[in-house]
Amino acid sequence: MAERIAQQQYGCMRLVNMKFRSLRVVKQSGLLVSNLAFGVLWFTWVGVLLSLGIGSLLMIYGIPVLALTVRSGRVIGAIDRRRLQLFADVALEPPAHKQMPSGVFPWLRAALSDKVGWKGLAYGVVMLPWSVLTFAVVVVLWALGVGAVTAPLYDWALPNGVMSFDSFTPSGWEHVGVLAALVVVGAGVLLALPMIVNFLTTTHIGLSRSLLSVGQTELLERKVGDLNRSRNASAAAAETERRRIERDLHDGTQQRLTGIAIDLGIARERLSEVGDEQARVLIDRAQEGVKEAIAELRDLVRGIHPAILTDRGLEAAISSLAVRTSIDVEVSSDLKRRLEPTVESAAYFAVAEALTNVMKHGGATTATVTIRDLGETLEVEIRDNGVGGASVLPGGGLEGMQARLNGVGGRLDVVSPDGGPTHVKVTLPCALS
């Protein structure tokens, strides 16, 4: 909807392009002329408050005054960003809102160390000379242009019909020539005016952008932060979903099947008392089938999300995995804490995939899994004594592992020369940023 309105607005602008341009000169001039009022206001504001604050630093109220002054730098920024939007249709990205801590001293410290506030104050100071310049240039140019172009009108309106410049009073053709020259000069000034005003406005926007807005780097950082957050959110959502499926299967289907198996067991006991051999064989078969289904379901659930990972964490889950692997796997770990579910899960499934690869292709007889808690990051290494030659191929298991790790900001390094051994290293951030 908003897009359509914007399109319509754009269409209108094209239709009234000329009108828009002249409107732009007027608006930009308004900005540059109003600069003076705000320049004087800001300079006074900053000058008075700052000197009050610094001057009374030795007094008890000096620091609070200074802190409030710095806070007011943000207000200056907010007002002038708004002014810029009004006059120049430029919406500057406002700096990040600062979360102020509670408590007097933390608050003061935070206020005084607020870069955005200080930049706002700097802007207030710089604005004075700059606004004088923009005001002077714009007013002089407008006056000159309009004045010169309308000189014939002025001339015609004079009571004695002749205008004079001090001692020189043109007459006859001279008079006409002077008027024509004035009109030409005025027209030239008016034609040049939009460009000059636009140039000054652009400079003013640049000044505001550097002092009242966020830098390109910060803007990118902000974007990266947003992307990280949304990526982590989707990883967490997938993780929650996996756990829900695991729980449903565990507490629903599996329980039900176990109940059936038990009932069949009881039925079998009763039948053996009666002595119906045929029925007993049938029930035996049914019971075996149910038990196999339960075992298969258990493996499936373990593949979706192993319960021990939730209960006891990464080391326990990987040890359990190692026990279930057909080759000798030695697990060592210095991880003593629980990590985010998505991180634990990503690390677990990376190891599971790596061990599956070791069994399938590596020709290995032993493997080691080393879990290292490096504070900010978690490092998991899987080494085997196999023949090597593993690589990240499209559609392969390692690629799937890489994708899953990338989903939580992790990395996969595979070193597997022909002839072996294979060394897989998984690096993950411990906390999601």
Partner 1 sequence: VRVVLAEDSVLLREGIVRLLAEFGHEVVEALGSANLLLEAVIKYEPDLTIVDVRMPPSFTDEGLRAALQIRRQLPAASVLVLSQYVEERYAQELIASGSQGVGYLLKERVADVREFVEAVERVASGGSAFDPEVIRHVISRSRGLSGVSSLTPRELDVLALIAEGRSNGAIAKAMFVSDGAVEKHITSIFMKLGLAPNDAEHRRVMAVLAFLRDS
Binding residues for partner 1, rule: CB under 8 A, are: 247, 250-251, 254-259, 261-266, 268-269, 287, 290-291, 294-295, 298, 301-302, 307-308, 310-312, 316, 319-320, 323-324, 328
**Which residues 6+ apart lie within 8 Å of 317 measured at CB?**
306, 308, 309, 344, 348
Contact 365, 397 (CB under 8 A): no
Helix-helix angle 17-55:173-212, to 10 degrees: 60
In whole angstroms, how close is the CB of 366 to partner 1 at the nearest point?
A: 9
Both tokens of residue 395?
Answer: 């559609």
In whole angstroms, how close is the CB of 334 to partner 1 at the nearest point?
A: 18
Contact 336, 312 (CB under 8 A): no
The smaller minimum CB distance to partner 1, of residues 3 and 311, is found at 311
In whole angstroms, how close is the CB of 421 to partner 1 at the nearest point?
A: 19
In whole angstroms, how close is the CB of 256 to partner 1 at the nearest point?
A: 7
The smaller minimum CB distance to partner 1, of residues 7 and 255, is found at 255
Strand partners, 425: 381, 413
Q: Sign of torsion, CA 215 219 222 224? A: negative
In whole angstroms, how close is the CB of 387 to partner 1 at the nearest point?
A: 21
The smaller minimum CB distance to partner 1, of residues 269 and 413, is found at 269
Which DSSP string do the residues of 341-383 spell out, in sequence order?
HHHHHHHHHHHHHHHHHHHHTS--SEEEEEEEE-SSEEEEEEE
The smaller minimum CB distance to partner 1, of residues 290 and 347, is found at 290
The smaller minimum CB distance to partner 1, of residues 78 and 293, is found at 293
The smaller minimum CB distance to partner 1, of residues 37 and 300, is found at 300
161: left (phi over 0), alpha (psi -120 to 50) or beta: left
Report the Cα–Cα distance between both ends of the chain, in Å, rounded. Answer: 34
In whole angstroms, how close is the CB of 239 to partner 1 at the nearest point?
A: 15
